[in-house]
Amino acid sequence: MDATRMEILRLQMERLRTYITTGKYWEGANESEKKRIRNQSKRFILENDSLFYVGVDGQKREVVTNLERVKEIIDNFHSISGRHSGIDATVNKITTWYWWGSIKDDVIHFIKSCTICQKQKKGNEKPKRIRKQGFVIRPVKVKEPLELVVMDLMGMGILEMRHAQMEEAADVVIQPNSDEEPETDEESEVPAVSAVEESEIDTDEEAITNRM
């Protein structure tokens, strides 16, 4: 819906309102236009000076002929509960109360321009791999608990790296279980990225994330 189309709708609705109230047509109306307005009038009612569209279900919806109001209504119903509803849900909610002839198109356009929805959509697209200190982290999406069971088959090199990272994160020194001398701070540092072949990790990750 743009300003021009809204103006056409507003004029149509004004003519309809006049016909419903007075039974008269506008000046210059031809026969087919008169016929159309007579047919249209069967689907609209006037109540307290407000025009309502009556759907096939017999429910009445307030006729909206103001572009600003259209935006306001879509905005409200799209994010009514703090969550942003999708196209169908938003259309269903709006059409319970309002009518302006191009609700679905306008909702689609609105949601396509909603920055929050577009951000969310991007987030749902193929996740980018996050590379951090030699790990290749790929999110695994599941819908319910135990849908996917994975085993950590990585070698000691990785475990040692994790151990060292945990140590670093917790800022505590974990004593090794062996009889050996406690490691010095220098030795327990996180190994460099190059210590692990990235291609190796790729393969391992692939294998462990296969659905069992």
User: Footprint of Zn ion on this chain (CB under 5 A)?
Assistant: 84, 114, 116-117
Cα 66–chain centre separation: 26
Least distance from Zn ion to the Cβ atom of residue 78, Å:
6
Given the complex with Zn ion, which of 80 and 153 has the nearer CB atom?
A: 80
Q: CA–CA separation, 67 vs 48, rounded Å?
A: 22
Given the complex with Zn ion, which of 66 and 76 has the nearer CB atom?
A: 76
Which residues fall within 8 angstroms of residue 106, CB to CB, at 6 or more apart? 1, 70, 74, 100
Least distance from Zn ion to the Cβ atom of residue 120, Å:
8
Given the complex with Zn ion, which of 119 and 138 has the nearer CB atom?
A: 119
Q: Phi-psi bin for 77: left (phi > 0), alpha (psi -120 to 50), beta?
A: alpha
Least distance from Zn ion to the Cβ atom of residue 113, Å:
9
3-state secondary structure of 178: coil
HEC letters along 154-172: CCHHHHHHHHHHHHHHHCC
E-assigned strands of the chain?
44-47, 50-54, 60-63, 98-99, 130-132, 135-137
Given the complex with Zn ion, which of 24 and 119 has the nearer CB atom?
A: 119
Least distance from Zn ion to the Cβ atom of residue 75, Å:
9
Q: Report the candidate in 43, 28, 100 with the shortest Cα–Cα distance to residue 69.
A: 100
Least distance from Zn ion to the Cβ atom of residue 126, Å:
21
Q: What one-character DSSP code corresponds to residue 193?
A: G
Given the complex with Zn ion, which of 91 and 161 has the nearer CB atom?
A: 91
